[in-house]
Structure 1
Amino acid sequence: MNQRALVIGEALVDVVHAADGTVTDYPGGSPANVALGLARLDRMAELAAWFGTDERGRLVRDHLEASGVQLVPGSDHAERTSTAVATLAGDGGATYTFDLTSQVPEVVLDDSIAVLHTGSIAATLPSSADAIAELCEAAREHATISYDPNARPTIMGAADQVRPRIEALVAAADVVKVSDEDVAWLYPGQDVTAAVRHWAATGPALVVLTRGGEESFAVTSAGVEVTVPSPQVAVVDTVGAGDSFMAGLLDGLWSAGLLGAGHRELLHQIDAQTTRDAMAHAARIAAIVVSRAGANPPTRRELEDTE
C-alpha cells in the first residue's frame, strides 16, 4: 500500500509587503506549506484545508496541485480565502496579521496514512481545533502524529489562553517541531531548551527546536540530545522556512523507516545519528527556502542536483 501524509490545517494567501514597498500574493499557510514541501519531495501528500473558490482560492489550488498535493474534497467550501499579511523587515524577517476562517472537511483515516501532520492557526481556532484534536487521537492507530505550534499571537490570543491546547497537542503527538520564538512566547522568562526537554517528557518521541539561522536542537523521549548548525545563506525572506524544515524532518524520518503507527516504538528509540541526519536534511531544505522569495521549497531533484 502506498503510504501518504495527511496534513490538516489552513491554506491561505500570504500578502507580502516587502521592505522596498512592493506587494505580492503568495499561496501559503503553515500546514499547506508542509504538504507542498512533502509533495515536492515526492511524497504522497493530501491536504484537508478551508479556502474559497474566489481568485485567491484558485491561486492556492493551482499552486498546490501543480506540485502534486491532493486536496481533500470539500477543502474549497469556504465563503472566501483567508489571508495573512506579511510585512518584511530589512533582514527578511516577517510579521503577520490575519483574516482567517477555518473548518475541517471530512477526511478518511486508514492504514495508508504514514503521518498525520497539523499545526498553527487552525489547530487552535475554536471553529476547527476540537475537530483536529479528535482526528489526531483517532489517527494514532494508523499513523505517526506530528505537530508544529507555529504560534501566531495576533490571531491566537494570549499565551495563557492557548497554552493548554498547545500542550495537549504536544502530548498527543509523536514528532513536534517548534521555534525558539514560539517557546519564548508560550513560556516568557523560561529557558527554551528546558521547555523543550519538558515537552519531550510528556509524550512525543522527538521534539525539535529551531533557532532561525543559528541551529536546531532536538531531544528524544529517551533523553538523546542533538544539535545541528544551520547552513549559512543570504536570506531573501523567512516566509515558509519553518514549514519547509518540518516537511524535511518528516521526510528524513520517513526515509529512515520511522513513520507509521507500527513504527512508534522504533521512533521512541531513535538514535543520535538518525536524528542528526533528519535534522540536517531539514535544515538544508529550510536554507534553500530562505534564499528565495516566498514559501518555495525545493524538489527532490533540486536537492540531488546540489549535493
Structure 2
Amino acid sequence: MQAPTPALPVFVSAGEALTDLIRTDAQHWVSKVGGSTWNVARVVAKLGLASAFAGAISRDCFGQDLWQASQAAQLDLRFLQQLNYSPLLAIVPASHPPQYFFVGDNAADLHFTPSKLPAGWQSAVQWVHFGGISLARQPLAGQLLQLARELKRDYPHVKISYDPNFRILMDEHYDATLREMSALADVIKVSDEDLAGLFRTPDIDAAFATLRSYNRSASYLYTRGEHGASLYINDEMIDAVAISVPVADTVGAGDATIGGFAYSQLKHPERSNREHLNFAIASGAAACLEHGATPPTLEKISALYMSSSA
C-alpha cells in the first residue's frame, strides 16, 4: 500500500541557505550550516509546525551538509532544490571584531525556481517569510519579489513577513527592494542595527520612521537587543523589556525571534498582541542559550515566556 502524500506546510521561508566558513586560527577553519531564512524555517519546525525552506543549494559537500541538516530539522524537502552549481559561502576570517564577505558568483541559490515548488502549496500555506541576503542577490531577488507579489495578489489568506537582516551587500542598490518588500509585508521584523545599516545613518529614530512610512498597515517587530523590543500595530505601540539569560551566543537570535512570533500567531491566534511580543522575545532569548544558530525548543521558550509574563 502506497504511503499517503504528506500534507503541505503551513509555514514557508524563502531565500538563502549557505555555509559559514569561520577561521579559528592561522591554519584552521570550521564550516557551519546557516542562512537567515533557512534558520527561520528550522525554528518554526522545531516548535512543531509543518515548515519548509524554499531555496536552492549545491550538490557538493556543503550542499549535502545543508540537505542533511534540513532533513534532521524535519523541513519539507520537496521545497529544497539541489542543483549542479557552486555553493554560497560566507567567509568569516575574524570574529573580534566581526569580519566577513560572501563568495557565490553564479552559486546554486541564484538558480532557485519557484515554479518547481509543489503544486497547490500557495493554497495550503498560511505564512511565508522573506529576507536575508537572498533579496540582495540577483536574479534570486527578482524571483522572490515576484513570488511575494503573486502571494499578495492571489492568496490574500497568506501572511507575509519580512526581515531585511542587514548585511554589507545591502547598499543603495538595495533601497528599492527594501521599499517594495516593506510595502508587500504584513509583518516587518527589524533591529536597531539593521536600521543603521539600511538607511546609512546614526539617527535610528528617523530611520525607523522612514521604514514605517513605506507601509502604515504593517505590524513592526522592532528589536533592540538588551534594551528589549516593541510591537507597532497601526497606532498601538507595545514595549517589552529584554529577558536576561546567560548568553552562550547571539547568532540566530533574530531568526528565532521572528520564527517565534510567527509560531505564536499561527498556533495561538487567541493571544493578545502583548503575548505574541513576549513569546517572540522569549524565543530570541532561548536561542542565546546555545552556541551557533540552534533552534530553541518549545519547552525552553515556554519557560522564559511564562517567567516574563508572570
Equivalent residue number for residue 85 of structure 2: 79
Q: 2:126 aligns with which of 110, 114, 118?
A: 114
Aligned-partner Cα distance in 2 for 1:249–1:40? 14
Task: Map residues 1-40 of structure 1 onto 2, 5 A cutoff.
Answer: 4-17=10-23, 23-40=29-46
Aligned-partner Cα distance in 1 for 2:166–2:187? 17
Task: Map residues 134-145 of structure 1 onto 2, 5 A cutoff.
Answer: 134-140=146-152, 141=155, 142-145=157-160
Equivalent residue number for residue 3 of structure 2: none
Superposed displacement of residue 162, structure 1: 0.8
Superposed displacement of residue 25, structure 1: 2.0
Superposed displacement of residue 293, structure 1: 1.1
Secondary structure of 1:188's counterpart equals coil
Secondary structure of 1:75's counterpart equals strand
What TM-score do the two structures reach when normalised by structure 2? Answer: 0.83
Deviations 1:253-299 (Å, cap 9, x if unpaired)? 213439xxxxxxxxxxxxxx822222221221211222221100112
Deviations 1:161-204 (Å, cap 9, x if unpaired)? 21111111011100010111111112233632343344334334
What TM-score do the two structures reach when normalised by structure 1? Answer: 0.84
Secondary structure of 2:134's counterpart equals coil
Match for 2:292: what amino acid?
G
RMSD: 2.6
Aligned-partner Cα distance in 2 for 1:57–1:285? 28
**Greater fraction of residues in helix:** 2
Aligned-partner Cα distance in 2 for 1:32–1:62? 13
Superposed displacement of residue 16, structure 1: 3.1
Q: 1:278 aligns with which of 272, 276, 279?
A: 276
Equivalent residue number for residue 267 of structure 1: none
Higher relative contact order (CA 8 A, sep 6+): 1
Superposed displacement of residue 38, structure 1: 0.4
Paired residue total: 287
Equivalent residue number for residue 266 of structure 1: none
CA contact (8 A) 1:94 1:239 kept: no
Secondary structure of 2:58's counterpart equals coil
Aligned-partner Cα distance in 1 for 2:254–2:218? 20
Aligned-partner Cα distance in 1 for 2:301–2:175? 37
Equivalent residue number for residue 62 of structure 1: 68
Alignment CA distance shift 1:3-1:59 (3 Å): closer
Match for 1:147: what amino acid?
Y
Instruction: Determine if the alignment matches structure 1 residue 103 to structure 2 residue 107.
Output: no
Secondary structure of 2:149's counterpart equals helix
Structure 1: gaps of 5 or more residues = 259-272
Secondary structure of 2:244's counterpart equals coil
Superposed displacement of residue 2, structure 1: 6.9
CA contact (8 A) 1:104 1:132 kept: no
Structure 2: gaps of 5 or more residues = 1-6
CA contact (8 A) 2:190 2:223 kept: yes
Task: Map residues 162-181 of structure 1 onto 2, 5 A cutoff.
Answer: 162-181=174-193
Report which of the two structures shows the higher radius of gyration computed on alpha carbons: 2
CA contact (8 A) 1:171 1:199 kept: no
Aligned-partner Cα distance in 2 for 1:231–1:19? 33
Aligned-partner Cα distance in 1 for 2:27–2:205? 37
CA contact (8 A) 2:53 2:79 kept: no
Task: Map residues 214-229 of structure 1 onto 2, 5 A cutoff.
Answer: 214-220=227-233, 222-229=234-241
CA contact (8 A) 2:282 2:302 kept: no
Aligned-partner Cα distance in 2 for 1:42–1:284? 17
